[in-house]
Amino acid sequence: MNILFAASEAHPLVKTGGLADVAGSLPRAIRNSRQEIRLILPAYPPAIKHAGRLKVVAELPLPGAAAPVRLLQGQLPHSRVTLYLVDAPAYFDRPGGPYSTPEGNDWPDNAERFALFARAVCRVALNRAGLAWQPDVVHCNDWQTGLVPALLSLEATRPATLFTIHNLAYQGLFDHDRFRSLQLPEDWWSMEKLEYHQQLSFIKGGLVFADHITTVSPTYAREIRTPQFGCGLEGLLEHRRQHLSGILNGVDYRVWNPGQDALLPYTYNAHRPAAKQNNKAELQKAFGLPVQSERMLFGHVGRLVEQKGIDLILQLLPELLQRRLQLVILGTGQPALEEALRAAGRKHPDRIGIRIDYDEALAHLVEAGADSFLMPSRFEPCGLNQLYSLRYGTPPIVRRTGGLADSVVDASEEALARHTASGFVFTDASAADLLQAIDRALALYARPAAWKQLMLTGMRADFSWTRSAAAYIDLYTRLSDLRPVARTRPGKTSSTDTLTVSN
Ligand code: ADP
Ligand code: GLC
C-alpha cells in the first residue's frame, strides 16, 4: 500500500507537542511493516535544518502562491520514510513556531498558510506533482490538514482519506473574509460543510469529508460524541459515529527509554532501576532544590494551558507545602499560568522548582528523576507523557479521561495484589480529588516494596507502536479496498536539482 501522511510537525524536525512525537514515529513503524508511507510537512526553517540532505523534486504553481511552491524530498531522520517538505518561503520561512510568532501570537495568515499546504498535499495525493507515485490513502492530522479531505472530495478519482483528531479543542477557525479570499467552493459556507457558527472551520473539512475519522484513544473517541468533550462538534461526530474509532498512540522507545537515553546523566532499566536515584539528585540540582533522596519528588512537563489542569496544581500548593514533598514543573504556555508558577517558585525555592522553557533534555530528566508524574488533565486525547512516565519508573497520577484512562491502572489494593497497578487515577477535575490521589501516592511511597512493584509494573508495560501500527494498516487496507485508485508504475521523479543543507 502507498500512504501519504500529512502533518504540521514531526519529531525530530519540528515539535510543539505530542503530534510531533506521533508524526515522527508512527510512519516509521508503518514503514517497518513494509508499507510505502511518505511524510509531508511544511518546510519550516528547523525542518529544513534537521532533515539534512534535500533535493527539489517538483515546482507546483498553486492558487494563493505568488511563486511556484517547491517540493523538497529527503528522508525522515533515522528511518526509511521518504519526506516531502512544502517549500513556500513567503509562508513558512519565518522565525517563531509553526503556528505562532516569536511572541506567541498566532500568525495572522494561518488560514492561507495551511490552505496552501493542503493544496500541495492534494497535488501529491492525486499524483499531480510529477512524482509518479499514487497514494492509496491520505492520512491527515489535526486542523492544519483539514482542507485536504474537503478538497479531495471534489475529485472524481481520488485516494481514500483518513483524518486523525489529536486535539478537538484546536479547530482552525477563521472569519468569512478569509473563506472568500481562499476561493473555496461557495456551498462550503454551510452548516453541513465548513461553516461553524459564522466561521470557517478547517477541522470540519476533515470531520465532514474524510472517509474515516480516528482519534488517539478509544475513550476519547467516545467522549467527543458528548457535549462535555465535543467542543460543539459532538452532533457532527455522533452523526459520523459509524466512521469514527480510536487507536491508542504508541511510544517510540528508541527516543523514550531510560535504558539507552542519551539525554540522561544515568541510564537504568527494570532490571537495574537503582540509577534512577542518581537522576533524581541531578533533577533536584537542576531545579535548585535541596538534594534529599528520601523526600518524594513530583514532576510535570507540558504545555501550560487549561487542558492540562495545571491550575488544579496551583490551587493545591498551600496543601502540598504542608506535606514532605518537592515539586518540579517544566513548561511554557498561557502567560498568567507561567507567571503564577514563577511566583510560587520564587516564594518556595527549596520546595518548588519552576522552569518556564521548552527544553527537551530537561523533559527527559524530569521523567527519569521524578518519583511520580502529575497529569491532572481536564481532557487528554491520548497523552504521551504518562506513557513515558510508566517506562521511566515514575508512576503517573492521572485523571480518568481519554488516553489517560486507557493506559494507567489505578493502584487499588486489588490491582496491587494482582500486580496490574501502574499509577493513580482520580475522577473529578477538582483540586480535592487530585489531592486525594497525591496522598495515596505519598502513602504508597512510604511502603518501599509496594512502590517498587508499582514502578516495575509500569516499566514492563508495552506501549510500543507495534499494535497500533497494525491497527492503522488494517484501517488503511479497508479504506483503500472501498476506494481503489488507478495504480501508476513507479517511475523517476521529474526534476533533480539538488539542494544540500549543511547543519
Ligand atoms: P500535548 O500533545 O497535548 O502537548 P502529550 O503528552 O501528547 O501532550 O505530548 C507532549 C510532548 O511535548 C511530550 O513529548 C513532552 O515531553 C513535550 N513537551 C511539552 N512541553 C515541553 C517542554 N516545555 N519542554 C520539553 N518538552 C515538552
Ligand atoms: C494532542 C493531545 C495529546 C496527544 C497528542 C498526540 O496534542 O493533546 O493528548 O497525545 O496530540 O496524539
Q: What is d(CA 497, CA 132) in angstroms, rounded to the nearest whole number?
A: 17
The whole-number pLDDT of residue 493 equals 40
Pocket residues: Cβ below 6 A from ligand 1: 17-19, 21, 301-303, 330-332, 358-360, 363, 382-385
3-state secondary structure 449-475: HHHHHHHHHHHHCCCECHHHHHHHHHH
Sheet holding 325-333, edge to edge: 352-356, 325-333, 296-304, 372-375, 396-399, 424-426
Centroid of ligand 2 to alpha carbon of 279 (angstroms): 27
Q: Which atom of ligand 2 is nearest to the CA of 403?
A: 9
- The verdict on pTM exceeding 0.75 is yes
Pairing of the two strands 424-426 and 396-399 = parallel
Q: Which atom of ligand 2 is nearest to the CA of 402?
A: 9
Angle between the N-to-C axes of helices 310-321 and 431-445, in degrees from 0 to 180, rounded to the nearest 10: 60
The whole-number pLDDT of residue 64 equals 82
CA-nearest residue for atom 10, ligand 2, is 383
Q: What is d(CA 212, CA 164) in angstroms, rounded to the nearest whole number?
A: 9
Centroid of ligand 2 to alpha carbon of 20 (angstroms): 9
Residues in contact with 343: Cβ distance below 8 Å, sequence separation at least 6, in sequence order: none
Nearest to 40, CA basis, from 8, 78, 17: 8
Phi/psi for 54 (5° steps) reads: -135, 145
Structural domains for the chain: 2-250+467-497 (3.40.50.2000), 273-460 (3.40.50.2000)
The whole-number pLDDT of residue 496 equals 32
Which ligand is closest in space to the CA of residue 404? 2
Angle between the N-to-C axes of helices 310-321 and 335-347, in degrees from 0 to 180, rounded to the nearest 10: 10
Residues in contact with 186: Cβ distance below 8 Å, sequence separation at least 6, in sequence order: none
Which ligand is closest in space to the CA of residue 361? 1
- pLDDT averages per 10-residue partition of the chain, 503 residues: 98 97 98 97 98 97 91 97 98 96 94 98 98 98 98 97 98 98 97 98 98 98 98 98 98 97 98 97 98 97 96 97 98 96 98 97 98 98 98 98 98 97 98 98 97 98 96 97 71 38 35
Pocket residues: Cβ below 6 A from ligand 2: 17-19, 22, 166-167, 216, 249, 380-384, 403
Which ligand is closest in space to the CA of residue 356? 1
Q: Residue 232 corresponds to which amino acid?
A: G
Centroid of ligand 1 to alpha carbon of 16 (angstroms): 7
Q: What is d(CA 68, CA 58) in angstroms, rounded to the nearest whole number?
A: 9
Q: Which atom of ligand 1 is nearest to the CA of 256?
A: 14
